[in-house]
Structure 1
Amino acid sequence: MAVPSQLVREKFPNIDEEIFQYVEGVLTSTEDFESSEDVYDAIGSLLADAVGVEREDEIRKLCDQVMSTLTVSNGTIERKILDAPVQLAEMAANMEVEDEAIKSVWSRERDDTLKVDQKKLDKAEAKLKEKKEKRVNADKKEQAPIIMEMATASQVVSKKDRALDAKGSCNTKDIRIESFDVAYGEKVLIQNATISLAFGRRYALVGRNGLGKTTLLRMIASRTLRIPGHISVLHVEQEVVGDDTLAIESVLECDTQRKNLLDKEKELQTRIANGDSDDTLSSQLSEVYAELQAIEADKAPAKASVILNGLGFNPEMQTRKTREFSGGWRMRIALARALFTQPDLLLLDEPTNMLDMKAIIWLENYLLTWPTTLLVVSHDRHFLDMVPTDVLHLHSQAIDSYKGNYENFSTTREERHKNMQREYEAQSQFRQHVQEFIDKFRYNAKRASLVQSKIKMLEKLPELKPVEKETIVTLRFPEAEKLNSPILQLDEVEFSYKKDVVIFSKVNLSAAMDSRICIVGENGTGKTTLLKILLGDLSPTKGHRFCNRSLRIGYFTQHHVDQLDMRLCPVELLQSKYTGKPVEEYRRQLGAFGVSGDLAVQQLASLSGGQKSRVAFSLICMGNPNFFILDEPTNHLDIETIEALGKAIQKFKGGVVLVSHDERLIRMVCTELWVCGDKQVVCMEGGFDEYRAIVEKEIQATI
């Protein structure tokens, strides 16, 4: 008769060895098995997890077979029948044991061969848990696929414009996009809008998160919206593909005219060197040299180097292969290529997100002399005050145009809204007065003609609407109890990834419950590393980190936003992390960060970058932190939300350490500045004004 474990092996030959050994150990002891159901209770669920619940019928049949091997012909398990009472004292007296052994049947150990190896059991259970999680995640993917709705656009194009495009006779570089709509799935983002972009002017497209700014840029870049064919358009959206091309060569290659001429020059020189008898080669080469001189090709490497240097690439980095750079640095190369190419229309979407303070100041100065048309989406208030000559305001499915920078736009819009409200109120009073006259004399025969004229006048009067005020954004951080100092402290801290690569050394800094600290410095100077040491994720190579044991740190970074499960809606995301609370509490938590109504039940994949950031904030605050460490929290947030974030930080009773390059936010909240650089972290007494002056001086020195 077959051994029970052999039946398991025959039925499931591919079963994991650790799980099989565990099952084998269970089946060596059969005293408690009364029926096949007992066998199933002992090993059934284990086998189901190992081979799949869909094979449950096979597992039950196997348990029946196992039971049959344990029974005798009359259908019962063979057991030893006692024909007399067992005298345990007599058994103990007759047991042959060594002198040092304990002479008691109660403490006699069970045969080791009948024991289940605990290590094997732990391994088996760990593997089963891993398989279960994979199966659950797979099921989750099948149940909730990411629904990426497509953006669409429609536009009314006149016959005249179509004819001009067909002939190619239109030479103006000005752009006018008339009567267009943009929708994302079923949601209408922009309706019957018209924008005009005059050549050589710099336009900022502003508006709340989720209204369609990025979508509009993509529609223009793809020419889904009509752009004259002779106008070159470049949208900086994707990072440069990493390969063996050097960073500076990657920038130079995007000038296709120069590249083609250099390739032709090389080909002609090779043919001449090889003794080609064609008499026209010399004249062709002269023509190529003349064209190269006309486009000032010899100045191109210096121009590319200046642009890369301004964006943070030192001479050594400029000669590195693009595949050696991270995604953020490749995005900088993409920006450098765009600035070098100088298309007729340059589209930039949040260009300051990837830059440090030095690079932002350089870019502001560089764009002030930009010769072609620029359309930029940005939420950096200082950048918007420095660069644009015009502002396009996207709101209520419409686009309004304003002259001047963001500050002028803000003032003009407020005045415009006041005037519109006054006109609306005046018209409402006039309508009411006329209507009262009509109602009073409607049935007066002598004034019938006058009443009719008043009615016609009201019908012709354009109907004004009250000014639609945008909702005020508010963010609410949790209450924080007061903790005794020291809260967080670094003493003589040094950190190095390798023995010969020191990031910083002799760092002595501390943070309290009322701290508002901003960390600044160029990219690569160790800001994120410093944050991870403060968090406790990295241990100092030398020195010590002290932390109050009651400290609960809320850590925000754009990396966390990117790792959210995009298949879930915000409410489901909070439920998955903090289970067992009523739905109203999750909605209340999301509402504290401006994610309310339909947004709370939309799939995360369909939300804008700023809306995802708010969801991430609400998730972090659900854990009631009493200290915040924020790494570039303003990326993708609109201006109003950044203002709300600043106010929330001001009201928060706990401490805050912030890495940011948003000058307005830094000036709004920070009372202490830590500067990373030259393998040091120092507290700058003069604050942000002193730091900006130093950076501007460094930029001037490199020009």
Structure 2
Amino acid sequence: MIAINNLTFEIGARALYDEANWHIKPGDKTGLIGANGTGKTTLLKLIVGDYKPTSGSISMAKDIKIGYLNQDLLSYVSDKSILHVAMEAFERQNQLHSEIERLLEKLEKDYSDDIILKLSDKQTEFEALDGYNIEYRAHEILAGLGFSDSDQKRTLSEFSGGWRMRVMLARILLQAPDILLLDEPTNHLDLPSIKWLESYLQAFEGAIVIVSHDRYFLDRVVDSIVESKRGKLIQYSGNYSFYLEEKALREEIQGNQYKNQQAKIKQEERLIERFRAKASKAKMVQSRIKALERMEKVDDVDDYNPTVNFRFKFSKQSGRHVVMLENVSKSYPGIPILERADAIIEKGDKIALIGANGKGKSTLLRIVAGADGDFTGKCETGHNVTQTFFAQHQLEALHLDNEILRELQAFAPKHSETELRSILGCFLFTGDDVFKKIRVLSGGEKSRVALAKALTADANFLVLDEPTNHLDIQSVNILIQALRQFEGTFILVSHDRYLLDNVANKIWFIEDRKIKEYPGTYQEYEAWQAKRPQKIDTQKAAEPPKPAKEEPLKKDDNKERQAKKLHKELEGIEQRITEKEHAIKEIEVAMAEERIYSDSQKLGEISRQYESLKKELRVVQEQWEKLASEIMMLEEG
């Protein structure tokens, strides 16, 4: 499908890739991983032709269709609706639709066999390409990515960068390419949308290459891993968890080979040095020197898993109650977020605030942090609480002309240079890296600096909004270690499930405009949530049981009544299907009559009615299938 052979790509004097090889076969689902700066995004750009190799080749099958999601798509702007933008994926269908419309207009004035034949050909091709269903398919993909029906009518320019990226992802998925190249596809998604995308990609029949820092996402989607390391592409069968096991085994073998070879080299060097001055041994010495020069050296194992050895300290302990929320109400025009909500954050809580985008997570976080005062009710901070708030806008607050070390010294003057260098080392800034100017750093590097600042603050309460954005897997692991060592209290919003699993001891979620709490880990919350009956927002949700005393869920008392109601709706849809099928048959009969096909104007009008009815019939049939599935699930459950 795609063959990368002896690929070399140089940036200045540095070879990012040095005779790297990789063959992507049809149906492969691969995670492309590696430390920052190893060229993952560059490789995707080489595959699509944005960059040219210094040497080597990238060859691919003829007429291969590539869908490429990259962060550059954020610059795409349009005043058309997001549904229209997503449907731009159907290039040929849209072209045929326009041509059919033009032919129907011509038919009103110029009735001829040539036009009728062309119209018939276009309509046949349009139907073969499932043209009548493209709007439904676009709607379905956008809904899966979190867009409501009303959202889909809004223009692309109304949305923030993250939501625009979702539209670009929808458009790429609708293209049904032979291979998907996805560069950090989960960066702008919430948890429900990530789970939907996982299911979609699991069923996708083409090949997939994913660059992602979300190890759970990789585990659920890919069946192989390719690691970009030291200019080479190293392949592993299996998902990310298998890669970790296999890599550990390979590194153990490599480490032993390195030690054995080093011992042999030292032994040979001692022997050479011992007999170098003896003329009778000159031939033997030269032979061993040449043998050493020819020896293929085994590299030592790189330590790509730095550990956090910095003690995060604060000068005073907080009281028992860190934050108390009482009767808090918050809304935006037409959008209620919280209504007389109560909650308490206690000392030592490690809270993950989760849920779909638009449910008020960041709003609640700002209220807790004191960054949003436009609400009713009380939000009180407890005794001796000192807090720091990390959000993506903190990146903009970095002083661009400061060196990294100077940025931290100005923020945390009580820490010594040694301590600050230690924490910067934990965040992968070592040696002279600490003297880099902030302005030359990448987005991920700036995120690491901002996180380092947050964790050096003299604060016993951390408020963190999406701290893993722009971080690679290494950096996420570092953040996990730091938060697990932090002895204070924190609340965070994140869509990284591995992070949540490893740091949270309580889960908060907003339901029915109330703050609900699950007293356990994220994994326990997920298991509990899977057993809950599905609820709509207006229903009062049951309080989550404690993990140790989990009770069986009650069956829906109104099950029979709901089934009757759904059956009645199904009968109404069946009646509509019958009516539309009858109307279509009547039109087909009419189109065969001489009085119709001999009158171009009438034929044009009736052809439009015919196409419209067929489209309406497909939509109603889809509604019937969806409702029938709901009835089946209800009756079987």
Unaligned runs of 5+ in 2: 53-57, 536-625
1:216-250: CA deviation from partner (whole Å, max 9, x where unpaired): 33343443244547433333222374544222221
Q: How does 1:22-171 map to 2 (within 5 A)?
A: none
1:155-174: CA deviation from partner (whole Å, max 9, x where unpaired): xxxxxxxxxxxxxxxxxx32
1:176-211: CA deviation from partner (whole Å, max 9, x where unpaired): 25322242x665543333332223212211122333
Q: Name the aligned partner's letter for residue 203 of structure 1.
A: T
> Aligned partners of 1:436 and 1:385: how far apart in 2?
49
Equivalent of 1:489 in 305, 324, 338: 324
Q: Name the aligned partner's letter for residue 264 of structure 1.
A: E
TM-aligned CA distance change 1:305 to 1:314, over 3 Å: same
Equivalent of 1:470 in 300, 304, 320: 304
Q: Name the aligned partner's letter for residue 313 of structure 2.
A: E
Q: CA deviation at 1:545?
A: 1.2
Q: Which residue of 1 aligns with 2:80?
A: 245
> Aligned partners of 1:455 and 1:549: how far apart in 2?
72
Q: Which residue of 2 aligns with 1:284?
A: 118
> Is the 8 Å Cα contact of residues 488 and 534 (structure 1) preserved in structure 2?
yes
Is the aligned partner of 1:421 residue 2:273?
no
> Aligned partners of 2:506 and 2:449: how far apart in 1?
28
Secondary structure at the aligned position of 2:203 is classed as coil
Q: CA deviation at 1:342?
A: 2.5
Q: Which residue of 2 aligns with 1:235?
A: 68
> Is the 8 Å Cα contact of residues 477 and 621 (structure 1) preserved in structure 2?
no
Is the aligned partner of 1:209 residue 2:36?
yes
Is the aligned partner of 1:522 residue 2:356?
yes
Q: Name the aligned partner's letter for residue 180 of structure 1.
A: T
TM-aligned CA distance change 1:492 to 1:476, over 3 Å: farther
> Aligned partners of 2:286 and 2:408: how far apart in 1?
62
Is the aligned partner of 1:372 residue 2:206?
yes
Is the aligned partner of 1:174 residue 2:2?
yes
Equivalent of 1:192 in 7, 19, 28: 19
> Is the 8 Å Cα contact of residues 391 and 409 (structure 1) preserved in structure 2?
yes
Equivalent of 1:391 in 208, 219, 225: 225
Secondary structure at the aligned position of 2:150 is classed as helix
> Aligned partners of 1:571 and 1:310: how far apart in 2?
44
Q: CA deviation at 1:553?
A: 1.2
> Aligned partners of 1:592 and 1:302: how far apart in 2?
49
Q: Which residue of 1 aligns with 2:482?
A: 648
Equivalent of 2:494 in 646, 657, 660: 660
> Aligned partners of 1:664 and 1:582: how far apart in 2?
33
Q: How does 1:589-608 map to 2 (within 5 A)?
A: 590-591=424-425, 593-608=427-442
Secondary structure at the aligned position of 1:351 is classed as coil
Q: CA RMSD in A?
A: 3.3
> Aligned partners of 1:598 and 1:695: how far apart in 2?
49
> Is the 8 Å Cα contact of residues 328 and 376 (structure 2) preserved in structure 1?
yes
Q: Which residue of 2 aligns with 1:141?
A: none
> Is the 8 Å Cα contact of residues 90 and 175 (structure 2) preserved in structure 1?
yes
> Aligned partners of 1:587 and 1:466: how far apart in 2?
26
Secondary structure at the aligned position of 1:468 is classed as coil
TM-aligned CA distance change 1:241 to 1:427, over 3 Å: closer
> Is the 8 Å Cα contact of residues 522 and 677 (structure 1) preserved in structure 2?
no
Q: CA deviation at 1:485?
A: 2.2
Q: Name the aligned partner's letter for residue 484 of structure 1.
A: G
Q: CA deviation at 1:377?
A: 1.1
Q: CA deviation at 1:527?
A: 0.5
Q: Which residue of 2 aligns with 1:50?
A: none
Q: Which residue of 2 aligns with 1:331?
A: 165
Count of residue correspondences: 528
Q: Name the aligned partner's letter for residue 491 of structure 1.
A: E
Unaligned runs of 5+ in 1: 1-172
Q: Which residue of 2 aligns with 1:76?
A: none
Q: CA deviation at 1:438?
A: 6.4
Q: How does 1:569-608 map to 2 (within 5 A)?
A: 569-574=403-408, 587=421, 590-591=424-425, 593-608=427-442
Q: CA deviation at 1:678?
A: 3.0
> Aligned partners of 1:581 and 1:432: how far apart in 2?
43
Q: Which residue of 2 aligns with 1:259?
A: 94
1:549-594: CA deviation from partner (whole Å, max 9, x where unpaired): 5322111112222453445432354466578998777655634533
Secondary structure at the aligned position of 1:352 is classed as coil
Q: Which residue of 2 aligns with 1:74?
A: none
Q: Which residue of 2 aligns with 1:148?
A: none
TM-aligned CA distance change 1:623 to 1:607, over 3 Å: same
> Aligned partners of 2:5 and 2:447: how far apart in 1?
32
Is the aligned partner of 1:272 residue 2:107?
yes
> Is the 8 Å Cα contact of residues 417 and 467 (structure 1) preserved in structure 2?
yes
Is the aligned partner of 1:632 residue 2:460?
no
Q: Which residue of 1 aligns with 2:335?
A: 501
Q: Name the aligned partner's letter for residue 353 of structure 1.
A: N
> Is the 8 Å Cα contact of residues 493 and 541 (structure 1) preserved in structure 2?
yes
Q: Name the aligned partner's letter for residue 2 of structure 2.
A: D
Larger Rg: 1
> Is the 8 Å Cα contact of residues 566 and 605 (structure 1) preserved in structure 2?
yes
> Is the 8 Å Cα contact of residues 308 and 423 (structure 2) preserved in structure 1?
no
Secondary structure at the aligned position of 1:634 is classed as coil
Q: CA deviation at 1:695?
A: 6.5
Q: CA deviation at 1:372?
A: 2.3
> Is the 8 Å Cα contact of residues 438 and 454 (structure 1) preserved in structure 2?
yes
TM-aligned CA distance change 1:283 to 1:691, over 3 Å: farther
Q: Which residue of 2 aligns with 1:560?
A: 394
TM-score with structure 1 setting the length: 0.68
Is the aligned partner of 1:541 residue 2:365?
no
> Is the 8 Å Cα contact of residues 505 and 520 (structure 2) preserved in structure 1?
no
Secondary structure at the aligned position of 1:506 is classed as strand
Q: Which residue of 2 aligns with 1:113?
A: none
> Is the 8 Å Cα contact of residues 358 and 695 (structure 1) preserved in structure 2?
no
Q: Which residue of 2 aligns with 1:354?
A: 188
TM-aligned CA distance change 1:487 to 1:685, over 3 Å: closer
Q: CA deviation at 1:357?
A: 0.9
> Is the 8 Å Cα contact of residues 68 and 182 (structure 2) preserved in structure 1?
yes
Q: CA deviation at 1:292?
A: 1.4
> Is the 8 Å Cα contact of residues 180 and 193 (structure 1) preserved in structure 2?
yes
Q: Name the aligned partner's letter for residue 495 of structure 2.
A: H
> Aligned partners of 2:517 and 2:181: how far apart in 1?
38
> Aligned partners of 2:283 and 2:197: how far apart in 1?
68
Q: 302-311 or 522-531, which moves further after superposition?
A: 302-311
Q: Name the aligned partner's letter for residue 403 of structure 2.
A: C
Q: Which residue of 2 aligns with 1:403?
A: 237
> Aligned partners of 2:482 and 2:225: how far apart in 1?
28
TM-aligned CA distance change 1:432 to 1:280, over 3 Å: same
Q: 315-324 or 387-396, which moves further after superposition?
A: 315-324
> Aligned partners of 1:418 and 1:482: how far apart in 2?
44
> Aligned partners of 1:684 and 1:234: how far apart in 2?
40
Equivalent of 1:303 in 115, 123, 137: 137
Equivalent of 2:47 in 220, 238, 247: 220
> Aligned partners of 1:342 and 1:569: how far apart in 2?
46
> Aligned partners of 1:213 and 1:330: how far apart in 2?
23
TM-score with structure 2 setting the length: 0.75
TM-aligned CA distance change 1:473 to 1:530, over 3 Å: same
Q: Which residue of 1 aligns with 2:618?
A: none
> Is the 8 Å Cα contact of residues 324 and 382 (structure 2) preserved in structure 1?
no
